[in-house]
Structure 1
Amino acid sequence: MVKMQSSSVIGTLSGPGSRPRNKLWKKVWKYRALYLMLIPGLVYYGIYVYGPMYGVIIAFKDYNFLKGITGSPWADPWYKYFKAFYDSPYFLPIMRNTLLISLYKLVWGMPPGIILAIMLNEVRNKAFKRVVQTISYLPHFLSTVIIYGLLIALLSQTDGLINQWIKSFTGEAIPFLTSTDWFRSLLVSSGIWQNVGWSAIIYLAAITGIDPTLYEAARSDGAGRLRMIWHITLPGIRNVILLLLVLRLGHVLDAGFEQIYIFYNVHVYPVADIIDTWVFRVGLEQMNFSLATAVGLFKTLIGIVLVVGANKLARRWEGSIW
């Protein structure tokens, strides 16, 4: 009797708890090939993405390259380098430049990709559509150095092609590349030209996922192309637009280091110097790794806050990431 009771107790304890576990292992074994293919990616991210996060503690230490991370003393107070960044006379100018350039890229950079995708979707000549799509996304594969070289060839104050035309009409060239009035416009417009085709591919993929019967129903009701774009196409890709917007908000404090570092010069520092370029000059060129790490951690925390906040807002339109 006692044995029967004990066995029933063991069965009740082990049975329900083991069933989900057995189901899990059966599922893993069933898709073992996919999990095996996943391992290299997990190893890569573990070593090169999550492993280096250990170095974040440099932001809270008086880091000495010879002593290493563990041998370097802790900063006193712990927020020493965060305060140094905040108290810097460059804090407000570089924050303003970073936010303005990111905002310009966000506001002016997203609509062209959406518009181009919709225009390509409306084209019925497939050959023409392929040619335009290929030409539009080819600049995405050009390096920023080549883009800047093209701008120099076109806008150089001395022998740029466009400036030669301007000089022939007005008698005076415009210093596009060294003018604080023109720098941000050139930065944003060249970025749009380089990436508009690549962005359009993403939106085109989203448009192809829209149920074609919706267009047929709208057409039978007498709706024109503009009506169908406004009431079917745009709502159909709304989730993708919100997703990309949330992801871009997470990088709002990046503003494009590579592009700005190649484009800027001493004449445009007042409108071009951003957080990353300042950190590169002050933190890395002067070997102040603690300050560079502190600013990087500051950017990451702000990015997390923006992504979480934007994701909560996007939930109202069913476009959240999680």
Structure 2
Amino acid sequence: MGGRERTYRPRARTTRPLGSGRSANAPPSQPLSPPEARADGWFIADPLAQRLHQKSALGQRVDGGILLTPEEVLFCHWYRHVPLPNDGDWFNEQLSSEGTLLRRIIAMDVLRNGGERVIPVNHLASRFDAFPEHTWAVRWERHEAWMSHPGLSQVRLQRTHDPLDWDELNAWVSSVSACGHVAELCVIDDEFDTTIYHLSPAHPQGSHLRFADLDHALQKEVQSSCTTAHAIDGGYFLNHSSEWPLPAIGTPHFSGRFLRDEEHDFLLNHGKGEVNLYGALIGHGLLLRPGFKYGCRWRGYEESIEVAHAPWLIQPLEEAPTNWEEVCLAVRLAEGVNKRWICASFTNHTSSFLNIKRVG
């Protein structure tokens, strides 16, 4: 055998126990009072409420104190030594009345790790215009003054088994971007672990010569070659006596040019029918090659294939993942080979590209 096998210690996983704090700070000598039930939240009185609100961005100010959401109550219980409400079995009662509470508790715990401020949007109605549907909270980085800074991101929560609607997701990302925030997605799995993504419109743009850039004579020459091409398995093979004028289309092989079906159709019918997604991408100056090795339709090159690797892995909307587990797999594979994964769509003569980037 070679050298000694390396060993790794698995990371610690919390079970988030109730009734005990998770803060490294010592509890106060005088136990704090638990929150009191109010019609629209859980009330904590000043002066504790003032400290929690100003220093930690917790709760919404009301006369004499703050109102907390249930997820903030749990956060204060674990990290600020605040006892849970003691009227009955508070936690189970909250779970029974709020089906999405667990995801909010997990997200509040994870996203506030390291001093970040995460504020549910129902506390922010007086500061911001209406938030897009599905936005749960706004997140501030620890160095940002949360009372004056507009915040970094809007946070959306999903469980791995939630249905995935790409049109709705694109609309949400567009609305969040229009607000000046990063679209941040927190996906919670059935182990109550999280994966964090940033979603943003992508703008792939290459420098390759396009068919429309050729003069009329060259366009006719290319289309003439396409009409005499030999149909073979998976595409067409053509002999082109002069130098092929479109390096971004076709693959050089056997002293000729192999064209995939989509490439052959694009060249032969250019200007005669509606543009499709392939045509839109080629119109952006990209070189498209098959993405089979990466589990997608295309890999997209902005520069020559001999000069740089493909920065994009492109999946058409019709072939995109149908659940969040498939999204996780696609994005993780792309980033493992230093590429960016995008879901691409083309409707009403307009193309759109959604990039999903794993950040935590």
The alignment's TM-score, normalised by the length of structure 2, stands at: 0.19
Q: Name the structure where strand makes up a greater proportion of residues.
A: 2
Q: Which has the bigger relative contact order, CA under 8 A and spacing at least 6? A: 1
The alignment's TM-score, normalised by the length of structure 1, stands at: 0.20
Q: Name the structure where helix makes up a greater proportion of residues.
A: 1
